[in-house]
Chain A
Amino acid sequence: MSFFSHSEEERLAEYYRTDIESFFEATLEADKYWLNMGPQHPSTHGVFRMLLQLDGEKVADVVPYFGYLHRAFEKLGEYREYQMITPLTDRMDYLCAATMNMGYCLAVDRLMGIEVPRRGEYMRIIAQELNRIASHLVWLASFALDLGGQGVFLYCFRERERILDLFDRLCGTRQALTYIRPGGVSYDVPPGWLGELKDFLNKFPGWLKEYEELLTENEIFVNRVTNIGIISAEDALNYGMSGPNLRGSGVKWDIRRDDPYNLYEEFDFEIPAGRGVGDVLDRYHVRLEEMRQSTYILLQAIENLPEGPIMADKVGWHPKIKPGESSASVESARGEFVVYLKADGTKVPYRTHFKSPCLVNLTALRKLLIGNLIADIMAIFGSLDVVLGEVDR
């Protein structure tokens, strides 16, 4: 390598040499053994691999491996115009694309100094909250499936299908929305759409009750998830957990309320935080309650939806942005999504960075798993709600 002197190169080679074999030798103990899990394990919701060191049935150590879904969106972002990056953000977290769009567009808005019209902001909030419900439903479905509750899976996907149909009518796509754009949103509501949404929202609390009857009131389920995967509030902050995982530990931190973007400060909603233990059951309760709160936000948004334009005027298809930098953090369904943008006066950004909440949530995986039983791994891993497309970007 040209950029390193010889000694530096040697030092780097030392880092490379910490491969699996030497790692084994260093940590090999007589009564412990290593087991590979993934990357094609169905319960990892993607391609995630971990090496487990097991002591009998207990987990003694975990080494996670990433990068099987690495598509270099940050590098691609440095070669694309500002409007062409929004579709890339869909593909990061494909279950909650609207909040990913929002994070990027918020950074562009701040960089360009765009004042988004009120109706545009409200439509952004509607898209985000609707997508948050859909995302949590997928989480609930797959989490229950991991623990053997196959009925819940079908119920959740039934409701999610309705949300995807609503998105289909709103912007023509079901998952990769690209609905939120720099300066506003791409389409106004089609006729009759708000009525359908309201109809869905009125029925949704009843469906939520169905899930709770199947899971929360199910003794087997509750015993299975209580007091495993515990992390304290202080540790959760130190390990950088965010979103429902952080709130499950009792920290009431929600960017929608504490560092508001869009017009979230105009909305009235509560921030759920479990019972303060920080185990899997707490994280489950937080997500269920969040779906309910999203319903309230959506009802308020429909009630007060202002008239007017949905898109700011001065954003073109090929915007040139003056030199400067901006960052934006939004509350995605999985945690705090941070975008850093640096413009250099041309049509393409100088640097785009997407901080993935899932990747940082997984930092705590080692702490969560060590000491637990091998049978609980999927319950704990599932409770973190990881989307590997976002981890690897």
Chain B
Amino acid sequence: MSEAEANSGAAMPEHVERLKQNFQSSFLDFYETKDHPCVEVKAEGLLEFCTYMKDKLGFNYLRSLTGDDLPEENKLEVLYFFVRIPGAEKIQLRVKVDRDDPKVASIYYLWRSADFQEREVYDMYGVVFEGHPDLRRLLMHESFPSFPMRKDYPIGGTEDDMYEVKGYWAEEFYTPEQEEYRESRRGKK
């Protein structure tokens, strides 16, 4: 990514320096975003990395946790934003996982605030957080078949989801006459 190249020479904050020394193998990349210093971490080493951050560096507050889809690289990424209270030192972690087999360790037992946020990332992107005690969908209903925040999921929903809606509670709106009428309206617009 272009920003990473532009900032690769940026000075590292002290806590990032310590992380780099201790985790040579799982520390992949460092760059500055507009608000947080950002570290890319290998998915296998995440749990050790986070344990060190919490116990030794004192990052006691998980500010935000979210996911992102990178279809060109065939990856999904999980983003973690941490802050130290008091002191307001910040760090952002970025973990890339395989899009076909997305698995990453859960940080539920380190920061309980990850509970619902990990469930939401699982719900929206399908990332499986291993070790999470209750990994269910959070916002979509439990039999929803797709992961709606992935880039290949269309904004109006897919045919499969629509059929489900038809079957359950909107049958009368999907008669051939209604369908024809709707098509004609669509054409006019």
Which residues on A are within 8 Å of B, measured CB to CB?
A: 1, 3-5, 8, 11-12, 15-16, 18-19, 66-67, 70, 72, 74-76, 79, 110-111, 237-241, 251-253, 258-259, 323-329, 336, 338, 340, 342, 351, 353, 355, 359-360, 362-364, 392-393
Please state if A237 and B81 are interface contacts (CB–CB under 8 Å). Answer: no
Partner of B63 from A72, A111, A338 at Cβ < 8 Å: A338
User: A324 to B148, alpha carbons, bound, how many Å?
Assistant: 24
User: A326 to B66, alpha carbons, bound, how many Å?
Assistant: 13
Please state if A239 and B99 are interface contacts (CB–CB under 8 Å). Answer: no
Please state if A19 and B142 are interface contacts (CB–CB under 8 Å). Answer: yes
User: A253 to B85, alpha carbons, bound, how many Å?
Assistant: 7
* Other 6 A-B pairs with CB < 8 A, given A12-B128, A340-B79, A340-B81: A16-B136, A75-B155, A238-B113, A253-B85, A328-B35, A342-B68
Partner of A75 from B86, B100, B149 at Cβ < 8 Å: B149
Query: Given A238-B60, A329-B63, A353-B66 in contact, is the A74-B149 Cβ separation under 8 Å?
Result: yes
Q: Which single residue of chain A is at the shortest CB-CB distance from B122?
A: A15
Which residues on B are within 8 Å of A, measured CB to CB?
A: 1-3, 33-36, 60-66, 68, 79, 81, 83, 85-86, 88, 90, 92, 99-101, 111-117, 120, 124, 126, 128, 134-136, 138-143, 145-146, 148-149, 155
Please state if A392 and B139 are interface contacts (CB–CB under 8 Å). Answer: yes
User: A393 to B142, alpha carbons, bound, how many Å?
Assistant: 18
**Residues in B neighbouring A19, C-beta threshold 8 A:** 142
User: A325 to B146, alpha carbons, bound, how many Å?
Assistant: 27
Interface of A is mostly: mixed
Q: Which single residue of chain B is at the shortest CB-CB distance from A259?
A: B88
Query: Given A15-B136, A75-B155 in contact, is the A363-B113 Cβ separation under 8 Å?
Result: yes
User: A324 to B1, alpha carbons, bound, how many Å?
Assistant: 9
Q: Which single residue of chain A is at the shortest CB-CB distance from B74?
A: A3
Q: Which single residue of chain A is at the shortest CB-CB distance from B89?
A: A259
User: A9 to B139, alpha carbons, bound, how many Å?
Assistant: 20
User: A1 to B63, alpha carbons, bound, how many Å?
Assistant: 33
**Residues in B neighbouring A393, C-beta threshold 8 A:** 139
User: A66 to B120, alpha carbons, bound, how many Å?
Assistant: 11
Please state if A5 and B35 are interface contacts (CB–CB under 8 Å). Answer: no
Please state if A327 and B81 are interface contacts (CB–CB under 8 Å). Answer: yes
Query: Given A18-B136, A19-B142 in contact, is the A351-B68 Cβ separation under 8 Å?
Result: yes
Interface of B is mostly: loop
Partner of B146 from A1, A74, A238, A239 at Cβ < 8 Å: A1
Of the A-B pairs whose beta carbons lie under 8 Å apart in the complex, a sample of 9, sorted by A's number, is A12-B126, A66-B116, A70-B139, A238-B111, A240-B112, A326-B35, A327-B36, A359-B116, A360-B116
Please state if B146 and A66 are interface contacts (CB–CB under 8 Å). Answer: no
**Residues in A neighbouring B134, C-beta threshold 8 A:** 18
Q: Which single residue of chain B is at the shortest CB-CB distance from A345?
A: B2
User: A79 to B148, alpha carbons, bound, how many Å?
Assistant: 14
Please state if B112 and A324 are interface contacts (CB–CB under 8 Å). Answer: no
Please state if A327 and B92 are interface contacts (CB–CB under 8 Å). Answer: yes
**Residues in B neighbouring A110, C-beta threshold 8 A:** 34-35
User: A353 to B68, alpha carbons, bound, how many Å?
Assistant: 9
**Residues in B neighbouring A392, C-beta threshold 8 A:** 139
User: A77 to B133, alpha carbons, bound, how many Å?
Assistant: 31
Please state if A3 and B99 are interface contacts (CB–CB under 8 Å). Answer: yes
**Residues in A neighbouring B143, C-beta threshold 8 A:** 16
Q: Which single residue of chain B is at the shortest CB-CB distance from A353?
A: B66
Partner of A70 from B85, B100, B140, B145 at Cβ < 8 Å: B140
Please state if B35 and A67 are interface contacts (CB–CB under 8 Å). Answer: no
Query: Given A1-B146, A338-B81 in contact, is the A253-B100 Cβ separation under 8 Å?
Result: no
Please state if B112 and A239 are interface contacts (CB–CB under 8 Å). Answer: yes
Please state if A1 and B145 are interface contacts (CB–CB under 8 Å). Answer: yes
Partner of A239 from B35, B113, B141 at Cβ < 8 Å: B113
